[in-house]
Structure 1
Amino acid sequence: MDDEAPRDLISLADDEGNSVTVNILGRNPRWTAGLDAEIVVKTPFVSGRIDLALYVSRLKGWADALDRLDAGEDAAWMEMSRGPSIFIQLAGERDCPEVVVEDESGSMVTVRVPLIPPDNWIADHRQRLRQVMDYWVPMLSD
């Protein structure tokens, strides 16, 4: 993959060692409308990763989720689709934001990661999304 290609669509982390990231690995060689990606969860207690297919409508869905979060609402991304889902709860069970990664259709595992993102995290993620869309979407077929 090109060194200039944006790789991090989502990067949420805190000072306690908790993080949830969505990394773009590159174009899917067998499916010209999609990108290979992965969700990576790291905490001092549990770590894991799961493959993820991204395509234009999923990227637009992330933009919608960012809009809801910016309005002060919790958001779900990729809910009710095949594969993993990500839920961001602004006031989680531990009185801080939580990212919930759920893989109902595959492993049936759910991981809840409490973390306090930096103040500008929504603007940062809008910029990440713009970079991903500008770089990758022109390469994808409809």
Structure 2
Amino acid sequence: MADVVPMDLVVLADDEGNSVSIKVSGPESTWSVGLAAEIVVETPFVSGRCLLILSASKVRAWGSALDSLEAGEDIAWMQMDRGPTVSIQLNGDRGCPEVVVEDETTSMVTVRVPIDLPPDWVAAHQERLRELVAAWGLLA
């Protein structure tokens, strides 16, 4: 695998200062087939981080989740795994999408972040996914 710099798989952000991102730092040192990553939540009210290991199956599931979002369906990504769950509700209570990060196994905290996303955000994330797969050869 080539020497690749860290990259963002997910960047959901708006002009109000609300964001949820997933930052991939590189190969996981304790598991040779995974990537070390973290979920980062930042809002004017609350912020936090949660460590995460991305396997090829989680990356494939993110691709499927993006397809569902593109079709207008809400998603819950990584829901059946140990570790955090990221859900996206396209029509949240505040008239914009809401991202819900649940970390039931470690911190037992759930954060709901309304984010006014641009119209092309799904396509941009499909491109981010392609770039991550190409950089890390994760699905090869």
TM-score range with shorter-chain normalisation?
over 0.9
Partner of residue 33, structure 2: 33
Query: Cα distance, 1:96 vs. partner?
Result: 1.1
Give the percent of matched residue pairs that are identical in Structure 1 and Structure 2: 57
Query: Cα distance, 1:6 vs. partner?
Result: 5.4
Mapped partners of 1:49, 1:130: distance in 2: 24
The 5 A counterparts of 1:1-142 are 2=3, 4-5=4-5, 7-137=7-137
Mapped partners of 2:51, 2:29: distance in 1: 15
Measured against aligned partners, the alpha-carbon deviations of 1:93-127 in whole angstroms (never above 9, x if no partner) come to 21210000001111110000001111110000000
**Long gaps (5+) in structure 2:** none
Alpha carbons 2:14, 2:117 under 8 Å: kept = yes
Moved over 3 A (4+): none
Mapped partners of 1:119, 1:73: distance in 2: 15
Query: Cα distance, 1:5 vs. partner?
Result: 3.4
Query: Cα distance, 1:30 vs. partner?
Result: 2.2
Equivalenced residues, count: 139
Query: Cα distance, 1:129 vs. partner?
Result: 0.2
RMSD of aligned alpha carbons: 1.7
Give TM-score, length-normalised by structure 2: 0.94
Alpha carbons 1:6, 1:132 under 8 Å: kept = no
